[in-house]
Each structure stands twice: as structure tokens, then as C-alpha cells.
Structure 1
Amino acid sequence: MHATDHDTPTGASLFTPPGSRRHYLWKVLALTGLYLLTGIVGVLLSQSTGYASPIWPATGMATAGLLVWGWRCWPGVFLGDLLIDLSRDASLQGIGLASLTAAAATIQTLLCVWLVQRYLQGRWQVARDRRLVSILFAAGPLTCLIAPTLGSAVLVAGGRIASDDLFNEWLRWWAGDTLGVLLFAPLALLLWPGRRTLRGGEGNHRFALPLVVTLTLLIVGHLGLSQLEDLRARSEARTLMEVIGDSITQDVAETLLPLEGLAHFIATSPEVTREEFRKYTQSFVQRPAILWVDWAPRVGARQRAGFEAAVAASGFPGYRIVELDSRGRLQPAAERAEYFPVLYSEPLALGRTVLGLDHGSEPMRHTAMRQAFDHGKSIASDRIRLVRSARQASLLFVPVHRLDAAAQQAPVGYVVGALDIQQLFAPLRRKAEERQFALRISDVTAGMPRRILSDSLPAGAEPDWHRDVHASGRVWRLEMYPKLPLWRPGSTAEERLFLGFAVLTAFLATFATLGSAGRHALVSRVVAERTAQLAELNSQLQQRIEERGQALTDLHAKEAEIHAVLDHLLECVITIDSRGIVQSVNPAIEPLLGYRPEELVGRNISCLMASPLREHHDDYIARYLQTGERHIVGSSREVSGRHKDGQPIALELSVSEYRVHGQRFFIGTLRDIRELKALIASLTQAREEAEQASRAKSAFLATMSHEIRTPMNGVVGLIDVLTQDQLPPHQADLVRTIRESSGTLLGVIDDILDFSRIEAGRLEIEHAPLNLVELLDNLCDTLRPLAVTHGVRLDAEIAAGVPPWIRSDAMRLRQILFNLIGNAIKFSGGRDEQPGRVVVGVRPAADDPQRLLIDVTDNGIGIAAEHLGQLFQPFSQAESSTTRRFGGSGLGLAICRRLVELLGGEIAVASTPGHGTRFTVSLPLTLASAPQPAAEPAAPAAPVAGAPASRRLLVVEDDAVNRKVIRQQLALLGYDFTLASQGSEALSLWRQGGFDLILSDLHMPEMDGYQLARRIRAEEAGQRRIPILALTANAMRGEAARAVEAGMDEYLTKPIRLATLQTALARWLPQQARPAPADAGPGPDDQPLVDATVLAALVGTDREMIREILGDYAESLRSLAPQLLQAFARNDCDSIDAIAHRLKSSSRAVGAVRLGQLCTALEQAIKDSDSAALAHGMAEFHPLHHATAAWIDRLLKEGNPV
């Protein structure tokens, strides 16, 4: 789906502006009607037993409606879904459940519309198929989880869905909604009347056809699968019913068979006594279906009196043959030709009252007995009311014939069994109930009206199965009907697979359709644009046709030439058989090797090869076929082909083998690589030229560095000289401004040189053990004066899990952090409303213990989000005003990022304007052991007692300005020196002797500093080694190593500040104090507690600044000292260590040397776990911090702290 070309405001319709309230209500009602209509279609597609439909078009129609008319029409979705649900259940509970499910459907539709709107408003390119896949997945299968999940839970809680059917209903619900969104929403948008809702514009109906076909196939497939599942379920149900029917047929036979056996027993026995009758029947008379069993012998009219007397004499006095009167009472039997009185009856307790009852006296019984005699088998009567139990039962009459009697001879009697029909079919009802089958049992014996014996079928239900059970002349019809649905929609693996297949098919069809529509729109737009351009061009050409006719002809010729070249830019493919005979070749052979295809077919392929491959090719094939040894087969290589005219052609040949009908063939691909080889040669030459240009660039940078630093040395050096004089405040401020400006310029030059070295790939990274904690402490100590100047508090926080020693490049890591901390100080200071604060934190990465995170966090001005992307770009800053306000070249962060990447890490930034910025450097955490302490090197020169004036220096400098600067600096430092303008002159002066140190430039005419150092080291030949210090304006990397290799001891760069020069000279010319009398000087305890000149050396001679810093320090001391004492009282070593570290740094910065030394001792005691040293130090700390604070107060009261 792709948006139109006009923007759409958030929350409004994508295609129509918001209308009046009347129009709004009309749209809501229309959307409700559309939802109802498509919902009814979905209901028709669903199974009658299932709640959810596997295809629910209403979801897609709702999505399309909200996209066209705006999301504010959502009540139409709610009402439509509510009405559909109420049509199923309009009860009070049904209204509540319908409201909840309608709300879930509405929320789902709104989320889907929101996702589609984001996609449409994003104007994503249609070629980005991944984006289309993402939105289809999000708006379809993912979003459609909402309504099925919430709705299913509501319906289960409301008892509308059984918990066993939860997953089936949920799956069908989800599949139906997903298919509705994937198929019906795009289809509705494509076919929406009067709307160009997709970028396809014209021809939307054509793109709708695949969706219609897909939808039709899925519906047909669903209906077919449903019918198949229903047929299969019905077949299984009928099979089960047959099994139940077979079992009841067997039960009936097993019930009647004992009565048949009894008749056979009587027939085969000469005379059966009452006891024998009892014993024989006791095995089956207890069955629920058999109420009682009688033996009724046939007694003739003449035998009646004797029969009655014999039975009475056997223990049944008063026995006589009786019959039932009209009211069911027993009375003496009337005169008849024959009687069938009850002689034996079991159980006797039940049958004693009816002994002598003539079964033939009742017409129904007499009819059944006659039928039994006529058919020669047992016959069951219709149900009659029994005398002995007043129950309805069917009497089974089994005729008994003597074995030697003729078939037509009257029976000797009847075995009569009373059958309880309800109990007879009780097992059938039980099994049917267990299988959830409704059962109806009917007596459909021919010639009698149908009688329902048992019926649990629903009213009007047609049975799915029936069977007639024939037994003893009766026909009982068994009919069954399933109480529950034959199958639950979605319960079978086949239907679940079909639902998954349907969703995947719909997804792919929609993706293909919308992707095709988008590409069609793009092509149409491009064609329209190109057509307009072509029309304009034709108009111009038409005006100038005469002047540019020849040019147009040449253009057509060039186009024809290009088309010809493109048409023939095809690889040449040749197939040969196992003998090397060409079987086929494509037309690309002719422009490549000059042969027409028909010239080569049937010839040996070696005709296209140059020597020596040509002569050995057949041997290669034969060897490969015999041994499998590969020469070219299965690989690609460069070969030399032979043109038809005999010229060699450079080709790339790829050969592979294939088989057809058992025969081996080879296919080869030829590519012309002459141009490729020429291109490689030109690229090689270009690379050499680029490397030469890089070397020239490096040389240029080195020269420019030297040329810039040489005059800057004069500026910076003389400024240092001026600062030593007591200048008026106005002039001192001007000098300080010049000094800061020159420092800024040097920083820019250094940044450019570093960036150039990084860009040229000439920056080398050294991985060596470094103490990270010490590095951070030193950095913070170095930058804390700068922080104090800007009114910024600088703290370091080291996490507990940070190892003390890691492996990295100490110099580059220091450069990175120096830049980041310096920036943080610069951008967080100078604000009156809030004091600045910078925190440097080190911690292991939580998600990767093999990485270390260094955070530099400030509370400064922050950076806007739109400027973060360009923050690490060279020569760029967050805002154009930043350079004007804070200065800088814009290279610092770019260099930091490149250095971090060279260290194998990453750098990230997070910032909130007005609240501060956090830079995070992530580095690989490689643990290292602390290096063994190296032996102290021997002093370069024997120390000589005395002041600097007693030390004599040889200065070699060819530039007049630099000589003037170094002369002033050395004079201020009090050194005796001799100047030489070139190396040869310096060598002569050194040979005369008397010098303690040589300070030499590197680049000089005739003899440079490198040559001078080599000559001096060569001539020393084991004599006293004189220190040689390089002082040069060349700051390029590698020069220092070259100077050391030449024999120099230290490498100093111009411009050099006075303090740096003094430190270097003091390092190589150590001073020894002259012995003094015991009372000549003060001891350590007599030293000033605060030397304000230390602070003046850091921040200048601005008295107000010094007073402000001393006051801040005194306030901090009064705050931290009680905290330190309290931490010692509760034995909190971590707090003691942290507070002592802070006091150490600030005390050193303001010149409180003794207090700083004591804090250092406290830190060391904590690290060594030396409780005695800690207690001694804390005892000394209490009076010392009071004395230091009092000393500062006195300095501030005097008004001249310096």
C-alpha cells in the first residue's frame, strides 16, 4: 500500500478532508453497514459450531474504511462488531461480552490503521521490499493478535467457548482477521469507488485481480476442507455407531441364547425336576434383562385333574390351572382342549403366585405361542403387563419338542422368559451416552404399529444411523444422532496447516500485488517525467532542427553503436563431449574469437586454444576421464585463446562437467578479460600515484609544521618572557590574551597534523601495559587548574570492578580523554545560574565483561539532537555559534573517534540541551600485569653543585627570532649559554669543552641537528656523555624516534613555554643544595603551609582569581575535613580514600604542599591496609588542616596572597 502524493495531517483522513457532523455521522453509519455486510459474509463462511470465522472480511473493510474516511470513524467499527455479536446472543451477559469483543476489534483496527498511516506518510520507496514486508507483517499477523487474544479470553471467561476449544477458536479468529487485513483491506482500497487510494492510480482493478483470485481459491479451499473434515467425521461417527450396534446385537443374542439352551435341555432330558430347573436357570436368571423364566408343559383336558393332583402332592398344595379374568385376577381355567400352565418358575419367590397360570389363556400369549409352533423357533410377544410384577415386558416363547418327535407334532411345552426391553437395551444407551450419541429404540415389527421404546433424539432431528435388530420374531430399530458436533473447527492438523498456508499465501499475494502496484506507480511517474522531458527536448530540437541535424544523426549513430555493444556483451558458452568435439556454441563466439557458431560445431575445441594447451588438451581430457585428475574442470583460470586470424586473446575460462543419459559433457564459459587486465594495470599505476601524493602530503605537512612553529616560537617564547615582568594590569591582560590565542593556534595545528596522520594511515598504535587509575588521576590533576579557572568541579569515579592494569596505548588514550574532559570543562563552565561539574567514570560494560566503558559527563549547555550526527565530522561543531563562543577547530572529536576506532573501540554521545552531555568510550578490556620496575638509569651527567648560573649551555639555532627567544628564556632562568648559528660551528665549540648540555635545532644548513648529534656521540668514544636536547618546530610523528636514534636524549617542540623548558633543563642538569648551617634554614615544619606562588604559576598573577580560588579551597577544606574524621571514626576506608584523594589534588593545586603530602600518605596507608600509618596520619591531619585553613584566612585578610 502506497500513499498518494499529498500530505495527510495526523488523525485526519488520508484521502478526504474532515467534513461536517452530518457527513461524519453518515460515514459512521456507512462503515457500520459495510462492517455488517462483510461480517455476515464471514459468518456464512464459518462453521455453525464455531464462534470465529477462518476468513473475516469485516476486519479488512474496517481498516480500509478508517484509512479512507479517517480514524475518527471508529464508532462504525465498534457498532458493526457489536451488532454481529448481539445477533448471536442478545442476553444481558451477551451484551457485555459483545461490548468487550467489539472494543478489542476496534483497538486492533485502530492500531493497524496507525501502522499503515505511518508507512504511507513515510513515502518509502517501493523498491524497498523489506519495508513493505515489515508493514504487512506488523499490520497483519502481528496486530491481529489483539482481538483474538482478548476476545477469546473474554468468551472463555463468559462460558461462550469451552476451554478445550480455546486454541482452535483463537487460531481461526487470528487467521480470519489476518486474512481480512491482508486481502480485503488492499482489495477494498484498490476498488474503492471514485478514489485513487493507492499510488497505482489508474489500473487499480488490474492489480485487484490477483487478490480476488487468491481470496476465491482460499474460500473454495476452506469450504472443500470443511466438507472433507465433515465427511470424515461423519464416517468415523458411523463406524463407531456400527461398532455399538454390533455390540448390542451380540448382547441381545447372548440374552436370548440361554432360553434356547433351556428348551434344548428340557427336550433332551426324560424328566426335569424342579431342582434341576432351578440349577440350570440360576446362571442367567440374574441378568437385568431377564425378569423370570417359566416352564409351561402342554396338558390335555383329560390330563388336567391328574396333573393338578400330582403337582399338589409334590409340595404345592392347592395347585391348579388358572387364568386371568377381565380385571387381571386369577381364576380357574375354563375348559379347553389343552393348557400350558406354569409348572416351574424362577426366581420362585417372584413366580410362586402365578404357578398354574395358563400362558395359552391370554390371546396375545396364545398368538405368540402359535407363531413359535408354526415357525419352529422362539417368538417374542409384544409388551404386555405382567401379573407378578405389574411391569411391561415382552414374553419369549421357546417351543420344546422331543428329539424323536415329528416337526409338525405339537410341542411338549414352552420355555417362557420375561424380557425387560429397557434393561435389554440399557448397555446400548450407556455406550451411546458415553459417545455423546442420542438414541431412539423403536419396535417396528411387521404388522404392528411402530412403538417408541426409548428416545433421546432432539425434536425434529434426523438420525445419522439406524439398524434393525431381528430377534425372536421382533424387529427393534436402533437410531443414533450425535449430540455434539461431529468435528470442532480448527481441531485437526490439516485445518491448522491450511490456516497457516492461507495466511502465508495471502501474505505473499498481497506483497506481490502491492509491490507490483508500487513499482507500476514508480515506473508510470518516471515515464511521465521522462515523457515531459522528451517533449520539451523535442520542442527545442524542432526549433533548431536545421542547425543540429548532423548532431542528431551522429547521436543516432552513437546510440546504435551503444545498443550493438550492449547486445553483444554476452559470455561465450561452449559445450563439448568427452572427445573434445564441440556440440554447441552461442553467437557470442563470433565477436570474441571470429568464428560463426556453425563453423565450430563438430570440430575439436582445441582449435580455439593457443599452444601449448592446444597440443595437450586431448590428453588432459583422457587423463581426467581415466583418473579424475583435474586440470581446468571445476575451476576458473586465465587462459590464452586463439582468434580465427591466429591472434592470441586473453580469456577467463570456467569449465564444469555434466551428464546426460549417462554420457559425459563439459560446458565452458569464456570471458574477455583484456579490458580487465588493462584496468588492473591502470589501477596499480593510480595506487602508486596516490601513495606518492600521500608521501608528498606528509612532507608538506612536516614542512608547514616547521614553518608555522618557527615564528610561533618567537611569539610564545617572548610572551613567556613578558609574563615574568611586573606589567600593569591592562598590559598583563593583553599579554594573557595573546598567550591564550597562540595556545589555541598551536592546538589547531596539532589537531590538523594528527588528523592528517590518521587519514593517511600513518598513525601507529602501541599496546602496552598502562595503569588506568594513575592515568586518570594524572589527567584530572593536570586539568583541575583549568576546571578551577572555569568554575567547574572535576571528579573521577572508578568502579570497583575496574582492573588497575590494562593493555592499550597510553599516549593515545590520554589524548582522547584530555580532549573529552577539556571540552566538558569548556562547555560546562562560565554559567552563573549553575556551577559546572564534570565527572570521569570508569566501569566494566554490563552486557560484555570483555569491554571497558569510560564516561565523561558534564552538566553544560548540551547538544541538540539534530546536531549529534555531525558531531564527529572533521571541521564541524554542534552549532555555528559554538566556535565563536568557545573556540576550537572542530577536529578534536573527529580525532577522538578515529583514535578510539584504532584502539578497537567505539565512542557514543548522549545529550540533553540545557542539562549536559555524556561521551562514552567503549574499549576492549585486555588485562595486563604490572610491569617490573626498571632500574634507575645513570644520570646523563655528574651533578654539579651550584645554581643554574654555574651550568653552561651550548645553544644551536639558525633562526634569528628563535635565537632571540631562547636567549631571553635562558637569561630569565639564570643559565650561562653560548649561541651557535649552525651545526659545524656548534661542533667546534663543543670540542673546546666546558659545556654541561647542548640544546640544538634539527633543521639547519650545512650540518643539521641529526648530523651534529651523531658526530658528537662518535667523538665522545666512552668519555663523559653530554646531554643533547632537540628543540625543533617539526612536530611530525617519527621525528622524535629519529632524534633519539641519532643520539639525542630528549625531544622538545617549538614553541616551548618557559616552564616546560625549565623542567627539561632541571631534569638533565640536577641541582644540589649547598650545605647550610644547622640554624640557617627552616625545617620541614617551618615551611609555609600554603605557597600561593604555585597557584600563580597555574592561573597567572590575577590576584582576584587567586583570592577566589583560595577561598573556594578553604570552604571545601572545612567541608571535607569533618567528613574525613567521621569516616575514620566509623572505619570507612573507601570514604577515607575518596576524600583524601580529592584533598590531595586540590591541595597540590593551591600550593598546600604539606597537607597534600599528608593526604598522599593517607591514600597509601589505605592501599597498604596499614592501620598504624593511617592512625598516625589522621592524628596529624586534625591540627594540620586547622592550621592550613587559618593560614589561608590570614593570606586573604592581607589582601596580597601572592
Structure 2
Amino acid sequence: MRFPSSLPMLLLVAGLASLILALVLLPRPLAAWQVFAALGVAFALASLHLALAAIARSAERNLPAPIGSDLEQLQDVRWRLSENEARYRALLDGQCSAIVRRDAARNLTFANKAFLDMFAAKADEVLGKPFELELCEPAEVEPLAVTAAVRHQRLVQHALTAMGARWIEWEEQLVAAPHGGGLEVQSVGRDITEQRRADMQLAEARDQAEAANRAKGRFLAAMSHEIRTPMNGILGMASLLLDTEQTPEQSTYAHAIDQSARTLLALIDEILDFSKIEAGKLELTEEPFALAACVQGAVELLAPRAHAKGLEMAWSVSPQLPRLVFGDEARVRQILLNLLSNAVKFTDAGGVSVEVGPSAEPCNEPGCVGIEIKVEDTGIGLSPDDIRRLFTEFEQADAAVRRRDGGTGLGLAISMQLARAMRGGIRVASTLGKGSTFKACLVLQPVEFAADDAGQGPIGEGVRVLLAFDRPLERRALGYALASAGVATAEVDFAKAADVLDAALAEGRPFDRLVIDGVEGPGAAGGLLAKARQLNRHAKVRGIVLVNVLARASLSEFRTAGFDAYLVRPVRPASLMLHLGLCRPEETSAVVRAEPAVPASPQAGWKSARRVLLAEDNEINALLAKRVLEKCGCEHLAVANGAEAVAAVEQILRGETRGVDLILMDIFMPQLDGLEAARTIKQLYASAPVGTGAPPIVALTANAFAEDKQRYLEAGMDDYLAKPFDKSGLEAVLHRWFSDHGGNTDAAA
């Protein structure tokens, strides 16, 4: 609705008239003049409003259209900026981390709510002013400055806050100040007091655990020594007792003592090994060794136990593997013995086989080769639940196993850790009631192959061998070894062997080597060999008979039946190749050397009786060592501690008594321990007249760890013999030194 332009003026005149009338009527009653006064004010205000509205309309009509639109846009932008600022502020105030900015003068230009709450401050009290934290201790890093060369840093401060002393971690960086005001330092801090406290508790717990581990290590070392010392007496005396004349009953008891002591020692060694692995102190040596000899030694050690149960036991090593590898032979043998002993323990019929060959999985280690050791048995097998906990410490597949067979349940767990230390592992496949197959994969470095291996063809080319016996595991293992050497091999049960010979002749490919089990007897075995020779008259058919250790009495009958050679189980593949006439000339001597030579008498390796200085404080162990020395044809001079050993050497050097060819030195002795005594003795001989050579000093100790042996050798000992030792162990040391070294018997005569 539009009004006449004169209306505001009329209203203004009416209003003024009403006010004048009100003044005239002022002496009148109050109500009348108030009414006119109110009307005057109302008319005046109305006229003013209408005048302003008219002015606004006029301005709107007279302004250009774009300017009006820009004003609306500016208002809209201001509203959005205000909204974004509120949202931004709410976001920063909602942060748990303290956020603050400071300019070049270190004055705070911004602080969020978390910062203000952390230090119980108000924004108007801190903004625009410097704010310094009250530190409980100096920080390792100074706060970032605008002029700093770095643009980012992290520091931790221990400062007083509204909650007391707290650890605060600050993330600081240089940022652009608003409105082009240069640079500011923005700091984002978070309270890490609880985290730091947890870290300190964790570090303290770690230190305590490490201290406990060190204490446990010292305890185990001490216990190892304390246990092995009496064990040395038990095993040694049992060994001496077994060498004496006994009644059958006494022999049974002596063997029981010996076997029980060895079982106890094996359990102790197992626990000590596990403790070392658990403490992360397992160390592997890297020395060249023959893989086949390692496997052979483990198999032959357990073969008597397997044969006593009527089990087959066979092994083979692929010729595709290097003859020598770098590694820890003792630990590889330990894995083998654990796997084999379990296989024999849980197998009552059938047998156990070991096959060693290249790993099926490619080896990614440069310069190394993957080796797979497969141990297969026909035993009781394992259920899936048993397999899942098989490698857990102190676990066995069945509670009945512990009651029947004993054991710690550590063997497989230790073997797995050893295999992992050799960059491999152990896998198992099993069927309950049918048997198990364990595969240990190891990564070892091969020793460079001999140059004369190159360019030589298969050694068994043109030769055909028939394995005619009823032991499938042994037959398969020997067949694998022969086939790997390029020998054409057939495997068959003895009952079907005659038909196979006929079929081979019909094909024009008769056999010229025959391997038969001696269990068939000289008559049946000799008859089959005779038929093979009759069918192949143009070749000299060689016959080999396989026998157990206890069957040697009938060997003459087999020779009469026409057999060329015999092999005692477990059969060594290299020996089989030798007796089949399939070894190269250079390999024949190697196989012969591999057979252990037994001296005709204990002192056959040296020319005359030798004299040994024995320093041992334990009376039983001293008695054992003296008796073994006497049986080896050695004289002995016994003392009870290191000080007496030094005194004895001084007497020798003064010419008061005859010299000695060897010193057996116990390590832990009263008054003067073995290491100190050895050092003193070496110094005495070094200062003696020229030509007085020091005898070798052999450490006798119950500390059986590898690092102990190394420590003793570095301290000046010449050799090492771990307790418990038996007659064969001490004999080996004597042969090692007396066969290769001249004596010192007359050095101070």
C-alpha cells in the first residue's frame, strides 16, 4: 500500500498540535493532557517511520542493481565464514590433544580448550602473552623457534599441569601466520604419562626377566656341573664293571646301571638344551662335515634298539647332494637322533627308514643348498590333535606314552628350534594306526665339489642289480641309493625272485648282481644265486648276503653257498656299492678308510708306556681315571688340586721326578682351579731350559656347553674331555695325543 507523499507532514503537524494542546491543558486533570501528549508522540514517530521508509524506497530505486546483489553476497559470505569459524573452533576445542600457536615473540596467538584445561588457564589471560611451562626437569630438546633451521621436531617435557606433574609429548612445526604475518610455531601436545609409566614398567620387567635368565643360566651351569660329576662316576664305574668277569645276573645288573645312567644323562642334556634355546643362547658352529657319515652314525647308534624289536632300519643319502657341507654336525645329528628315536619308540612292527635328498622347495639362500631329511615309520601314527601340539614343549602325543616310555616331551620342540636356526623347519604327515613321516628341511652351505667329480658318467652304467628280500623299507632305501648312482635296479620279494630272473633272461637283460637276505638261510639263498649264475653264464654274477649282527656265526655257510661278500645291518649304501664292485678307484679307498679301525691293544698307537699327570679333586672320578689309564697301559701321577699339580710340575722341572706326557686337568678344584693351574704350568715350561716341551693339557670338566669348551681352549688348554666320560672317551684322547705326538717322559730325567 502506498501513501501520499504529504502524509508524513500532516501527521507531524497533527502531532505537534496535540502536544501544544496537552501543554495548554496541563493544569487540567492528569488523564487529559497525558492522552494528548501520547498522541503527539505517536504521530511524530509515525511520520518519522514513514519518512524513513520513503527514503529507503527512493535509495533502492536510485541504486544500480549489481551493487544491491553484491551486498547480499557479502552478507552470505560473512555468514558462511562465521559458521566455518565456529565449526573450526568447535573442532579444535573438541580435540584431546593440546593445540597452541606462538609468534616470533613467543606470544600465544591461539590455544584450544584442551590446552587451557591442561594448564588451568583462560583464553583472555594467555593469548597475546608469552606462556612458559613450569618444567619438573630440563627437556633434552629445546622448543622450536620461528628462526630455527628445522621446520619440524618432536620433544618430550616433564611439566606441571592442572593434574600435577605429567609427561607431555609435543609435535612442533612452523606454519604460516594469518593475514601474511610471517611464521608461527604450532605445537600439538598429548599426555603420555601413562604410556611412559607402562614403558618404564615394561623396561623394569624386562630387566628383571633378563636378570632371572642370567640367574637361571648360572644355576643351570652350576647344576650341570654338579650333576655330571657324580654321573661321571656312575657311568665310568659301570663301564669298568662291564669289562670284568661277571655272572649272567651280575652282567644284567651292570647293564641296567649303565643304561639307566645314560638315559638320565640324555634327559639332563635335553633340559639344558631347551633352557639355552629359551634364553636365546643357542649358537651353531660352521664346520665342514660329511652328511652321509652323520646320517650313518645316527642310524647305527639306534639300529641295535630297532633290531631288538624286530624292525627294519634303512637309510640312504642322495648323490645329488654335496659330500661335504658347512654346518653344525652335532646339531644335525641331534635332530636325526630325536626323529629316529621317536620312530623306533612308537613302532612295533615294520620298520624305520631315513632318506636324505635335495629339498623339494627351492632354496632362496645364495650359495646354499636345501636338504630334506625324511624319517618314515610304520608305527602307531598320530591324530590331527596330536600333530597340532606335537612341537609344544613338555607335550607328548598321549599320556600313556609318558607312563610307558618316559621322556620330557622336549625332543621334538628342540629339534624344531634347531631346524629353524638352520633356516628350515620340520613338517609331519601321519595316519593314525599306519605310521608317520617327518621331514626336516635344513639350509646348509656346500663345500666346493672336488674337481675330479666333473664330467664322470654314472658309475653303474650297464649293471643290473636285483634286490631279492622281504624288507620293503630297507629294499626301497638301497634301491634309491643304487638308482641315484645310475644302476638299473629291480626290487622283489624273495618268493618271486626266481620268476623275475626268468623274465629278465627272456628280455635279454639278465641280472649280474644279486642281494639276498640271510634270513632265508644258506640253502634257499644259495639256490637263488646259483640260478642267477646259470641264467647269465656270460657274466660273473656277484652275490651279496645281508645279515644281522647276531647272524655272523653262519657266514661260513653262506660263503660255501657261493656268496662273494656279506653286509651287516644297517647296510651302508657306500659299502653296498663297494661290494657290488660299483665304486670308482678313488672312492674304494675312501670307503675302506671309513670302516673304523680297532687297535690290537689299548696302547697299540704308541711305542712305549706313557706317564700322565692327573689333577682331580673328586675321589671317585680320580679312581675311574686311574683305572682307565692303567687299562690303557699308562702310568699315572695323581694330585688332588691345581696347587699340587703346579708343585708336581716344579718337581719335574727340577729333575726330582720323571716327566709326564700328558696332563689331565679338572677345571673346578680347591686352592687353585684348573685354568689358573694350566696357565702357571705353561709359564713354568716356557721359562724352562730350551728343549723342555710342555705336555698337552686336557681339560676335564662337567661344563658341557660349546662355549665352555671354546673358553678352555682359549685359556691355553690343548684339548677337552667332557664329563661324564667312559673308557672309550679317555682312550680316544690318549690315542689322539700319543699317536701323533712325541712324549716328554725323558724331558727332565
Shorter-chain TM-score tier: 0.5 to 0.7
- Assess if the C-alpha contact under 8 Å between 2:356 and 2:373 holds in 1: yes
Q: Secondary structure at the match of 2:214?
A: helix
Q: Which runs of 5+ in 2 are unaligned?
A: 1-92, 452-601, 653-657, 742-749
Cα pair distance change 1:807/1:1036, threshold 3 Å: closer
Q: Secondary structure at the match of 1:599?
A: helix
The aligned counterpart of 1:630 is 150
2:251 matches 1:732: yes
* Structure 1 residue 589: Cα displacement: 2.6
Q: 2:330 aligns with which of 805, 808, 811?
A: 811
The one-letter amino acid paired with 2:97 is E
Q: Which runs of 5+ in 1 are unaligned?
A: 1-566, 933-942, 1073-1202
Query: How far, CA to CA, are the matches of 1:1028 and 1:793 in structure 2?
Result: 45
Q: Secondary structure at the match of 1:821?
A: helix
Query: How far, CA to CA, are the matches of 1:1011 and 1:968 in structure 2?
Result: 27
Cα pair distance change 1:582/1:998, threshold 3 Å: same
Cα pair distance change 1:986/1:905, threshold 3 Å: same
The aligned counterpart of 2:721 is 1052
- Assess if the C-alpha contact under 8 Å between 1:944 and 1:1071 holds in 2: no
Q: Flag the structure with higher helix content.
A: 1
* Structure 1 residue 678: Cα displacement: 4.9
The aligned counterpart of 1:957 is 616
Aligned residues: 481
Q: Secondary structure at the match of 1:1069?
A: helix
* Structure 1 residue 924: Cα displacement: 3.0
The one-letter amino acid paired with 1:599 is E
Query: How far, CA to CA, are the matches of 2:344 and 2:130 in structure 1?
Result: 78
- Assess if the C-alpha contact under 8 Å between 1:825 and 1:838 holds in 2: no
Cα pair distance change 1:948/1:982, threshold 3 Å: farther
Q: Secondary structure at the match of 1:901?
A: helix
1:256-295 mapped onto 2 (5 Å cutoff): none
- Give CA-to-partner distance per residue, 1:127-161, whole Å, 9 cap, x none: xxxxxxxxxxxxxxxxxxxxxxxxxxxxxxxxxxx
Q: 1:690 aligns with which of 209, 214, 230?
A: 209
2:499 matches 1:980: no
1:17-166 mapped onto 2 (5 Å cutoff): none
The aligned counterpart of 1:1010 is 675
The aligned counterpart of 1:655 is 172
* Structure 1 residue 719: Cα displacement: 0.8
The aligned counterpart of 1:573 is 99
- Assess if the C-alpha contact under 8 Å between 2:363 and 2:443 holds in 1: no
The aligned counterpart of 1:971 is 630
Q: Secondary structure at the match of 1:921?
A: strand
- Assess if the C-alpha contact under 8 Å between 2:395 and 2:409 holds in 1: yes
1:208-287 mapped onto 2 (5 Å cutoff): none
* Structure 1 residue 742: Cα displacement: 0.6
Query: How far, CA to CA, are the matches of 2:322 and 2:606 in structure 1?
Result: 44
Query: How far, CA to CA, are the matches of 2:124 and 2:660 in structure 1?
Result: 95
* Structure 1 residue 637: Cα displacement: 2.5
- Assess if the C-alpha contact under 8 Å between 2:605 and 2:735 holds in 1: no
* Structure 1 residue 747: Cα displacement: 0.3
* Structure 1 residue 820: Cα displacement: 1.7
The aligned counterpart of 1:994 is 659
1:911-922 mapped onto 2 (5 Å cutoff): 911-922=430-441
Query: How far, CA to CA, are the matches of 1:808 and 1:1070 in structure 2?
Result: 28
2:232 matches 1:704: no
Q: Secondary structure at the match of 2:664?
A: strand
* Structure 1 residue 1053: Cα displacement: 1.8
Query: How far, CA to CA, are the matches of 1:612 and 1:782 in structure 2?
Result: 68
* Structure 1 residue 748: Cα displacement: 0.7
- Assess if the C-alpha contact under 8 Å between 2:151 and 2:174 holds in 1: no
Query: How far, CA to CA, are the matches of 2:609 and 2:363 in structure 1?
Result: 60
Cα pair distance change 1:967/1:706, threshold 3 Å: same
Query: How far, CA to CA, are the matches of 1:1007 and 1:931 in structure 2?
Result: 50
- Give CA-to-partner distance per residue, 1:951-985, whole Å, 9 cap, x none: 22221111122223223333333432222111111
The aligned counterpart of 2:515 is none
- Assess if the C-alpha contact under 8 Å between 1:589 and 1:597 holds in 2: no
The aligned counterpart of 1:759 is 278
1:514-913 mapped onto 2 (5 Å cutoff): 570-575=96-101, 582=108, 584-590=110-116, 592-600=118-126, 602-604=127-129, 606-608=131-133, 620-621=145-146, 623=147, 629-632=149-152, 635-639=153-157, 650-656=167-173, 667-799=186-318, 801-828=320-347, 831=348, 834-846=349-361, 851-913=370-432
Cα pair distance change 1:748/1:644, threshold 3 Å: closer
- Assess if the C-alpha contact under 8 Å between 2:354 and 2:373 holds in 1: no
Query: How far, CA to CA, are the matches of 1:616 and 1:958 in structure 2?
Result: 65
Query: How far, CA to CA, are the matches of 1:827 and 1:762 in structure 2?
Result: 32
* Structure 1 residue 750: Cα displacement: 0.6
Report % sequence identity: 34
Cα pair distance change 1:735/1:774, threshold 3 Å: closer
Give the alignment's TM-score, normalised by structure 2.
Answer: 0.57
- Give CA-to-partner distance per residue, 1:9-61, whole Å, 9 cap, x none: xxxxxxxxxxxxxxxxxxxxxxxxxxxxxxxxxxxxxxxxxxxxxxxxxxxxx
Query: Larger relative contact order (C-alpha < 8 A, sep ≥ 6)?
Result: 2
Query: How far, CA to CA, are the matches of 1:927 and 1:1063 in structure 2?
Result: 29
The one-letter amino acid paired with 1:672 is D
Query: How far, CA to CA, are the matches of 1:1065 and 1:791 in structure 2?
Result: 38
Q: Secondary structure at the match of 2:730?
A: helix
Q: Secondary structure at the match of 1:1025?
A: coil
Q: Secondary structure at the match of 2:346?
A: helix
Query: How far, CA to CA, are the matches of 1:616 and 1:895 in structure 2?
Result: 52
- Assess if the C-alpha contact under 8 Å between 1:638 and 1:650 holds in 2: yes
1:291-330 mapped onto 2 (5 Å cutoff): none
The aligned counterpart of 2:737 is 1068
Query: How far, CA to CA, are the matches of 2:614 and 2:607 in structure 1?
Result: 15
- Give CA-to-partner distance per residue, 1:792-842, whole Å, 9 cap, x none: 3333333454333444333322222222223223333xx3xx332222322
Q: Secondary structure at the match of 1:852?
A: strand
* Structure 1 residue 785: Cα displacement: 4.1
Q: CA RMSD in A?
A: 3.8
Cα pair distance change 1:800/1:945, threshold 3 Å: closer
Cα pair distance change 1:605/1:675, threshold 3 Å: farther
The one-letter amino acid paired with 1:920 is K
The aligned counterpart of 1:41 is none
Larger radius of gyration: 1
The one-letter amino acid paired with 2:682 is R
- Assess if the C-alpha contact under 8 Å between 1:767 and 1:807 holds in 2: yes
* Structure 1 residue 891: Cα displacement: 1.4
Q: Secondary structure at the match of 1:863?
A: coil
The one-letter amino acid paired with 1:1046 is A
Query: How far, CA to CA, are the matches of 1:612 and 1:953 in structure 2?
Result: 69
Query: How far, CA to CA, are the matches of 1:1006 and 1:931 in structure 2?
Result: 53
Cα pair distance change 1:848/1:593, threshold 3 Å: same
Query: How far, CA to CA, are the matches of 1:617 and 1:1054 in structure 2?
Result: 64
Query: How far, CA to CA, are the matches of 1:1048 and 1:1020 in structure 2?
Result: 14
The one-letter amino acid paired with 2:343 is A
Query: How far, CA to CA, are the matches of 2:359 and 2:416 in structure 1?
Result: 20
Query: How far, CA to CA, are the matches of 1:931 and 1:596 in structure 2?
Result: 85
Query: How far, CA to CA, are the matches of 1:745 and 1:616 in structure 2?
Result: 64
The aligned counterpart of 1:1027 is 696
Cα pair distance change 1:990/1:665, threshold 3 Å: closer
